[in-house]
Amino acid sequence: MKKQTRGSLFVLSGPSGAGKGTLRKKMFQKVPGISFSISCTTREPRDGEREGIDYHFITAEEFQSRFERGEFLEHAEVHGHFYGTLRDDAVRVLDSGSDILLEIDVQGALQVREKMPESILVFVAPPSFEELEQRLRDRGTESEERLQVRLRNARWEMGKAALYDYVIINDDIERAAGELEGIILEQRQNREAQKDEIL
Ligand code: 5GP
Protein backbone atom coordinates (compact mmCIF):
# COMPACT_ATOMS: atom_id res chain seq x y z
CA MET A 1 0.00 0.00 0.00
CA LYS A 2 1.25 3.48 -0.84
CA LYS A 3 2.09 5.52 2.25
CA GLN A 4 0.27 8.84 2.56
CA THR A 5 2.78 11.71 2.35
CA ARG A 6 2.53 14.15 5.23
CA GLY A 7 1.60 17.71 4.37
CA SER A 8 3.89 20.69 4.90
CA LEU A 9 3.49 23.40 7.49
CA PHE A 10 3.90 26.98 6.28
CA VAL A 11 4.20 29.95 8.60
CA LEU A 12 3.29 33.41 7.39
CA SER A 13 4.45 36.34 9.53
CA GLY A 14 5.02 40.02 9.15
CA PRO A 15 4.07 43.25 10.86
CA SER A 16 0.46 44.22 11.10
CA GLY A 17 -0.37 46.31 8.03
CA ALA A 18 2.00 44.36 5.77
CA GLY A 19 -1.02 42.73 4.13
CA LYS A 20 -0.60 39.11 5.30
CA GLY A 21 -4.33 38.53 5.53
CA THR A 22 -5.12 39.75 2.00
CA LEU A 23 -2.15 37.85 0.61
CA ARG A 24 -3.22 34.66 2.32
CA LYS A 25 -6.81 34.95 1.08
CA LYS A 26 -5.67 35.54 -2.51
CA MET A 27 -3.37 32.53 -2.37
CA PHE A 28 -6.12 30.31 -0.94
CA GLN A 29 -8.37 31.15 -3.90
CA LYS A 30 -5.77 29.67 -6.24
CA VAL A 31 -4.06 26.84 -4.37
CA PRO A 32 -6.04 23.71 -3.43
CA GLY A 33 -4.98 21.25 -0.72
CA ILE A 34 -3.98 23.77 1.93
CA SER A 35 -5.87 24.69 5.11
CA PHE A 36 -5.73 27.75 7.30
CA SER A 37 -4.95 27.14 10.96
CA ILE A 38 -7.56 28.85 13.12
CA SER A 39 -5.82 30.28 16.16
CA CYS A 40 -7.17 30.86 19.63
CA THR A 41 -7.12 34.44 20.82
CA THR A 42 -8.17 36.36 23.91
CA ARG A 43 -8.84 39.55 21.95
CA GLU A 44 -12.37 40.71 21.14
CA PRO A 45 -13.72 39.93 17.66
CA ARG A 46 -13.59 42.87 15.24
CA ASP A 47 -16.59 43.79 13.09
CA GLY A 48 -17.25 40.99 10.61
CA GLU A 49 -15.01 38.42 12.30
CA ARG A 50 -16.61 35.08 13.01
CA GLU A 51 -15.99 32.46 15.69
CA GLY A 52 -14.35 29.36 14.26
CA ILE A 53 -13.59 31.03 10.94
CA ASP A 54 -11.24 33.88 11.75
CA TYR A 55 -10.30 32.78 15.26
CA HIS A 56 -11.53 30.81 18.24
CA PHE A 57 -12.32 33.69 20.58
CA ILE A 58 -11.70 32.48 24.12
CA THR A 59 -11.29 33.99 27.58
CA ALA A 60 -7.92 34.51 29.24
CA GLU A 61 -8.88 31.76 31.74
CA GLU A 62 -9.59 29.26 28.99
CA PHE A 63 -6.38 30.22 27.22
CA GLN A 64 -4.42 29.61 30.43
CA SER A 65 -5.96 26.18 31.03
CA ARG A 66 -5.41 25.11 27.42
CA PHE A 67 -1.80 26.27 27.77
CA GLU A 68 -1.41 24.26 31.00
CA ARG A 69 -2.80 21.18 29.28
CA GLY A 70 -0.10 21.60 26.61
CA GLU A 71 -2.59 22.13 23.80
CA PHE A 72 -0.60 24.84 22.00
CA LEU A 73 2.06 24.15 19.39
CA GLU A 74 3.12 27.74 19.95
CA HIS A 75 1.69 30.78 21.69
CA ALA A 76 2.56 34.42 22.23
CA GLU A 77 1.36 37.66 23.69
CA VAL A 78 0.89 40.14 20.86
CA HIS A 79 -0.26 43.74 21.32
CA GLY A 80 -1.50 42.91 24.82
CA HIS A 81 -3.55 39.80 23.89
CA PHE A 82 -2.76 36.09 23.85
CA TYR A 83 -2.71 34.03 20.66
CA GLY A 84 -1.98 30.33 20.16
CA THR A 85 -2.06 27.52 17.59
CA LEU A 86 -3.77 24.29 18.61
CA ARG A 87 -1.28 21.47 18.09
CA ASP A 88 -3.81 18.67 17.50
CA ASP A 89 -5.63 20.62 14.80
CA ALA A 90 -2.39 21.21 12.90
CA VAL A 91 -1.17 17.63 13.27
CA ARG A 92 -4.52 16.24 12.06
CA VAL A 93 -4.32 18.29 8.86
CA LEU A 94 -0.67 17.36 8.20
CA ASP A 95 -1.33 13.67 8.85
CA SER A 96 -4.18 13.73 6.34
CA GLY A 97 -1.64 14.76 3.68
CA SER A 98 -2.87 18.34 3.39
CA ASP A 99 -0.69 21.43 3.84
CA ILE A 100 -1.44 23.98 6.53
CA LEU A 101 -0.71 27.67 6.82
CA LEU A 102 -0.28 29.43 10.15
CA GLU A 103 -0.57 33.21 10.12
CA ILE A 104 1.27 34.01 13.33
CA ASP A 105 3.71 36.50 14.82
CA VAL A 106 7.50 36.22 14.90
CA GLN A 107 7.69 34.88 18.48
CA GLY A 108 5.34 32.05 17.54
CA ALA A 109 7.13 31.37 14.25
CA LEU A 110 10.42 30.85 16.07
CA GLN A 111 8.76 28.36 18.44
CA VAL A 112 7.38 26.44 15.46
CA ARG A 113 10.83 26.38 13.88
CA GLU A 114 12.24 24.80 17.07
CA LYS A 115 9.52 22.16 17.33
CA MET A 116 9.12 21.44 13.62
CA PRO A 117 12.39 22.32 11.88
CA GLU A 118 11.01 21.14 8.52
CA SER A 119 8.38 23.92 8.53
CA ILE A 120 8.70 26.70 5.95
CA LEU A 121 8.81 30.25 7.27
CA VAL A 122 7.67 33.11 5.05
CA PHE A 123 7.94 36.76 6.07
CA VAL A 124 5.75 39.42 4.47
CA ALA A 125 7.29 42.90 4.53
CA PRO A 126 5.77 46.22 3.48
CA PRO A 127 7.62 48.20 0.78
CA SER A 128 8.71 50.71 3.46
CA PHE A 129 8.06 51.60 7.07
CA GLU A 130 6.34 54.85 6.02
CA GLU A 131 3.97 52.87 3.82
CA LEU A 132 3.21 50.53 6.73
CA GLU A 133 2.35 53.43 9.04
CA GLN A 134 0.10 54.94 6.38
CA ARG A 135 -1.74 51.62 5.83
CA LEU A 136 -2.34 51.24 9.56
CA ARG A 137 -3.63 54.81 9.85
CA ASP A 138 -5.92 54.34 6.83
CA ARG A 139 -7.31 51.17 8.39
CA GLY A 140 -8.43 53.29 11.34
CA THR A 141 -9.20 50.32 13.61
CA GLU A 142 -6.85 51.33 16.45
CA SER A 143 -6.52 54.22 18.87
CA GLU A 144 -3.32 56.30 18.53
CA GLU A 145 -1.86 54.55 21.58
CA ARG A 146 -2.50 51.06 20.19
CA LEU A 147 -1.24 52.16 16.79
CA GLN A 148 2.06 53.20 18.39
CA VAL A 149 2.30 49.75 20.05
CA ARG A 150 1.77 48.10 16.63
CA LEU A 151 4.43 50.34 15.05
CA ARG A 152 6.94 49.50 17.78
CA ASN A 153 6.25 45.79 17.36
CA ALA A 154 6.51 46.19 13.59
CA ARG A 155 10.05 47.57 13.88
CA TRP A 156 11.04 44.63 16.07
CA GLU A 157 9.43 42.10 13.72
CA MET A 158 11.09 43.61 10.63
CA GLY A 159 14.42 43.06 12.36
CA LYS A 160 13.71 39.30 12.42
CA ALA A 161 12.95 38.87 8.72
CA ALA A 162 16.40 37.39 8.05
CA LEU A 163 15.52 34.37 10.22
CA TYR A 164 12.85 33.31 7.70
CA ASP A 165 13.28 31.04 4.69
CA TYR A 166 11.62 33.55 2.36
CA VAL A 167 10.84 37.27 2.45
CA ILE A 168 8.06 38.60 0.24
CA ILE A 169 7.90 42.37 -0.28
CA ASN A 170 4.23 43.23 -0.57
CA ASP A 171 4.47 46.13 -3.02
CA ASP A 172 1.88 44.66 -5.37
CA ILE A 173 -0.69 42.26 -3.96
CA GLU A 174 -1.12 40.15 -7.13
CA ARG A 175 2.62 39.73 -7.60
CA ALA A 176 3.17 38.98 -3.90
CA ALA A 177 0.34 36.40 -3.87
CA GLY A 178 1.91 34.75 -6.93
CA GLU A 179 5.20 34.56 -5.05
CA LEU A 180 3.56 32.88 -2.07
CA GLU A 181 1.80 30.44 -4.37
CA GLY A 182 5.16 29.67 -6.02
CA ILE A 183 6.78 28.91 -2.64
CA ILE A 184 4.03 26.43 -1.75
CA LEU A 185 4.10 24.69 -5.14
CA GLU A 186 7.88 24.45 -5.06
CA GLN A 187 7.78 22.81 -1.64
CA ARG A 188 5.29 20.25 -2.97
CA GLN A 189 7.57 19.47 -5.89
CA ASN A 190 10.54 19.01 -3.56
CA ARG A 191 8.48 16.71 -1.37
CA GLU A 192 7.41 14.61 -4.35
CA ALA A 193 11.01 14.43 -5.56
CA GLN A 194 12.17 13.22 -2.14
CA LYS A 195 9.39 10.64 -2.04
CA ASP A 196 10.47 9.29 -5.43
CA GLU A 197 14.04 8.98 -4.16
CA ILE A 198 12.87 6.94 -1.16
CA LEU A 199 10.62 4.63 -3.17
P1 5GP B 1 -4.74 40.43 14.87
O2 5GP B 1 -5.17 40.72 16.27
O3 5GP B 1 -4.47 41.69 14.09
O4 5GP B 1 -5.65 39.45 14.17
O5 5GP B 1 -3.34 39.67 14.97
C6 5GP B 1 -2.27 40.27 15.64
C7 5GP B 1 -1.01 39.46 15.41
O8 5GP B 1 -1.13 38.18 16.05
C9 5GP B 1 -0.71 39.18 13.94
O10 5GP B 1 0.67 39.38 13.72
C11 5GP B 1 -1.07 37.72 13.80
O12 5GP B 1 -0.33 37.11 12.77
C13 5GP B 1 -0.69 37.20 15.16
N14 5GP B 1 -1.32 35.91 15.47
C15 5GP B 1 -2.55 35.46 15.10
N16 5GP B 1 -2.76 34.22 15.54
C17 5GP B 1 -1.62 33.84 16.18
C18 5GP B 1 -1.21 32.64 16.85
O19 5GP B 1 -1.92 31.64 16.94
N20 5GP B 1 0.02 32.64 17.40
C21 5GP B 1 0.86 33.73 17.33
N22 5GP B 1 2.07 33.59 17.88
N23 5GP B 1 0.51 34.86 16.72
C24 5GP B 1 -0.72 34.92 16.15
Best mutation site among 10, 12, 73, 78 for ligand 1, i.e. most ligand atoms within 8 A of its Cβ?
Answer: 78
Whether 71 maps to a domain, the answer reads: yes
Residue 136: helix, strand or coil by DSSP?
Answer: helix
The confidence score (pLDDT) of residue 79 equals 83
CA of residue 20 to ligand 1 center, whole Å:
11
Total tally of structural domains belonging to the chain = 1
- Which ligand 1 atom is nearest residue 37's CA? 19
Pairing of β 72-78 and β 81-86: antiparallel
In a domain, 2, yes or no: no
The domain that holds 57 is classified in CATH as 3.40.50.300
Residue 107, CB-side half-sphere exposure with 13 Å CA sphere: 13
In a domain, 3, yes or no: no
Q: What is the pLDDT of residues 91-113, one digit of tens each?
A: 999 999 999 999 999 999 999 99
40-94 residue pLDDT tens: 999 999 999 999 999 999 999 999 999 999 999 999 999 889 999 999 999 999 9
Measured from CB, residues less than 6 Å from any atom of ligand 1 are 16, 39, 43, 74, 76, 78-79, 83-85, 103-105, 107-108
Report if residue 156 sits inside a domain: yes
